[in-house]
């Protein structure tokens, strides 16, 4: 099977660059009775005072594209740790993207469960914020706070949590922050998943362990409740319906434990629009699970048209990638109050895959495994497999101790090829 992203043009605006898309988005807008307000964020509310602030503002307002599909030309100016590399803010991130590429791809070229975890992790870190929460957002708290990962809404992300903490331990001496790493992992996963967008990627956020509770969505809530929850994060219903397309690379474990591991579309290793197509059908294809919230969005007057627009066989993928990029740049900056001081490091991201045919895996490859090798946490996160409630236990005595006096929690991730 061959998968193809028809890129109508690689230029400028998310909307104005694509005439067909402009019509589609206008049509989507017309058919929706409500207006989708577009708000600014953080310090941009006081003005865009730097070129990067202006770039983000233009992206959020739809004046320029929030993705860069051009081919990567960046090469690090020197080895990691060299003065030349230290001089270039983006240099260390190029080394991190290489590690993530090894972690996120299966031998056939599709993206794997760690990549899926990274997409969800970026969302869950950033979305713990609202216009009235006063704190939280894309601050890395999900990676560095002791308790956030233990909350029931964050079940199932232990492996990407461990992998992220490994990377933080490996690269923090080069000045990286947790909030940036979490969003960088999301954006690297997105572009590595075949057909996914190369989203504008910024670094320079301030980290914080503080995080408000009760701001993540419940899949059993009806669409209007979810729309309001996201509007309180400045994410309007059009952005929201673009964002939930991330369920194209998703499995579920806990909504129906009897179907644990069931994907939310039939191609969970590819960033295609089958999620929208298949959710439009009366019943999901065999083996595919449908979340109650996705069913509710499909049936809601405001969000239903998005499913039709994004599942269009000719323009859907291009339209969706552009819309997802706009919405996710916004998501990745929730709670960030120094947007004018960020650095654009999109140039280090891997190339986008526009045209994909799964590769044959070498016959010798059965499975590979990832083992966390650095100190990540002094507790173990386990889940009671009857109730799926998180259980915190002391790390086993056999774990090793590092120079910081914390224990090493080893987590093994098996990647099936
Ligand atoms: C109304 C909004 C949303 C709801 C109610 C929702 C709910 C869920 C639920 C219940 C699961 C399955 C968890 C499990 O049982 O393991 C899931 C998985 C997932 N969600 Fe969402 N979600 C929403 C929005 C988003 C957004 C905005 C993104 C990303 C931008 C996202 C990305 C993912 C991914 C990638 C997975 C799969 C993770 C994996 O396979 O490891 N979701 N979501």
pTM: 0.86
Q: Nearest C-alpha to atom 12 of ligand 1 is from which residue? A: 252
Q: Hey, whose CA ends up nearest to atom 24 of ligand 1?
A: 244
- Max intra-chain CA distance, the chain: 62
| Residue list, annotated binding site for Ca(2+) | 125, 137, 139, 141, 248, 265, 267, 272
Q: Tell me which residues have their CB closer than 6 angstroms to ligand 1.
A: 113, 116-117, 119-120, 123, 156, 217, 219, 226, 243-244, 246-247, 249-255, 291, 293
Catalytic residue among 124, 186, 383, 385: 124
For the stretch 171-206, pLDDT in tens is 999 999 999 999 999 999 999 999 999 999 999 999
Q: Which residues are annotated as a binding site?
A: 125, 137, 139, 141, 247-248, 265, 267, 272
Q: Where are the alpha helices (DSSP H) in 221-273?
A: 223-231, 237-243
pLDDT in tens, 232-269: 999 999 999 999 999 999 999 999 999 999 999 999 99
Q: What is the rounded average pLDDT of the residues 60-84?
A: 97
Q: What is the pLDDT of residues 289-313, one digit of tens each?
A: 999 999 999 999 999 999 999 999 9
Q: Over 50: is that where the pLDDT of 228 sits? A: yes
Q: How far is the CA of 120 from the centre of ligand 1 (A)?
A: 6
What is the rounded CA–CA span in Å between residue 268 and residue 27?
29
Residue closest via CA to ligand 1's atom 22 equals: 244
- Rounded to whole angstroms, how far apart are CA atoms 350 and 94? 9
What is the C-alpha to C-alpha distance for residues 227 and 221, in angstroms, rounded to an integer? 10
Q: Return the number of other C-beta atoms located less than 10 Å from residue 337's C-beta.
A: 16
34-48, 98-112, 291-305: segment of lowest average pLDDT: 34-48
> Can you list the alpha helix ranges (DSSP code H) found in 68-157?
83-87, 91-104, 113-126, 141-144
Q: Give the per-residue pLDDT at 36.
A: 80
Does the structure show a pLDDT above 90 at 159?
A: yes
CA 28 to chain centre: 25
**Can you tell me the distance from the alpha carbon of 220 to that of 167, in angstroms, rounded to the nearest whole number?**
34
Specify the pLDDT at position 376.
38
Would you place residue 27 in the very low, low, confident or very high pLDDT band (cuts 50, 70, 90)? low
| Domains detected in the chain | 3-356 (1.10.520.10), 367-416 (no CATH)
CA of 109 to the centre of ligand 1 (A): 22
Annotated catalytic residue 124? yes
Q: Which residues are annotated as part of the binding site for heme b?
A: 247
């Amino acid at each position: 099977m061959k998968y193809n992203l028809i890129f109508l043009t690689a230029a400028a605006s998310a909307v104005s660059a694509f005439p067909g898309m402009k019509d589609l988005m206008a049509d989507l807008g017309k058919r929706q009775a409500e207006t989708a307000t577009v708000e600014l964020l953080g310090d941009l509310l006081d003005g865009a005072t730097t070129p990067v602030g202006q770039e983000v503002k233009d992206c959020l307002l739809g004046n320029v594209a929030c993705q860069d599909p051009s081919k990567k030309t960046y090469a690090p100016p020197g080895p990691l740790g060299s003065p030349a590399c230290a001089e270039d803010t983006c240099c260390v991130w190029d080394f991190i993207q290489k590690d993530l590429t090894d972690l996120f791809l299966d031998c056939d070229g599709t993206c794997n469960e760690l990549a899926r975890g990274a997409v969800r992790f970026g969302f869950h870190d950033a979305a713990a914020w609202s216009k009235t929460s006063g704190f939280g957002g894309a601050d890395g708290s999900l990676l560095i706070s002791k308790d956030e990962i233990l909350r029931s809404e964050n079940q199932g992300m232990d492996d990407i949590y461990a992998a992220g903490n490994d990377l933080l331990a490996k690269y923090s001496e080069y000045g990286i922050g947790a909030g940036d790493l979490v969003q960088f992992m999301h954006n690297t996963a997105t572009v590595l998943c075949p057909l996914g967008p190369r989203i504008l990627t910024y670094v320079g956020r301030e980290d914080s362990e503080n995080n408000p509770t009760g701001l993540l969505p419940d899949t059993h809530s009806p669409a209007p409740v979810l729309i309001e929850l996201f509007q309180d994060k400045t994410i309007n219903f059009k952005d929201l319906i673009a964002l939930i397309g991330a369920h194209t690379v998703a499995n579920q474990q806990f909504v129906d434990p009897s179907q644990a591991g069931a994907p939310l579309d039939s191609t969970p290793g590819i960033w295609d629009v089958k999620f929208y197509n298949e959710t439009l059908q009366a019943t999901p294809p065999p083996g595919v699970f449908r979340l109650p919230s996705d069913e509710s969005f499909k049936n809601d007057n405001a969000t239903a048209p998005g499913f039709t627009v994004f599942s269009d066989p000719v323009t859907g993928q291009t339209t969706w990638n552009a819309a997802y990029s706009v919405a996710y740049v916004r998501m990745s900056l929730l709670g960030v109050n120094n947007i004018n001081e960020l650095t654009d490091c999109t140039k280090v991201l891997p190339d986008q895959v526009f045209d994909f045919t799964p590769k044959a895996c070498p016959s010798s490859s059965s499975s590979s495994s990832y083992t966390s090798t650095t100190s990540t946490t002094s507790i173990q996160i386990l889940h009671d497999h009857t109730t799926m409630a998180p259980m915190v236990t002391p790390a086993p005595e056999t774990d090793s101790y590092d120079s910081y006096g914390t224990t090493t929690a080893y987590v093994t991730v098996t990647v099936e090829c």
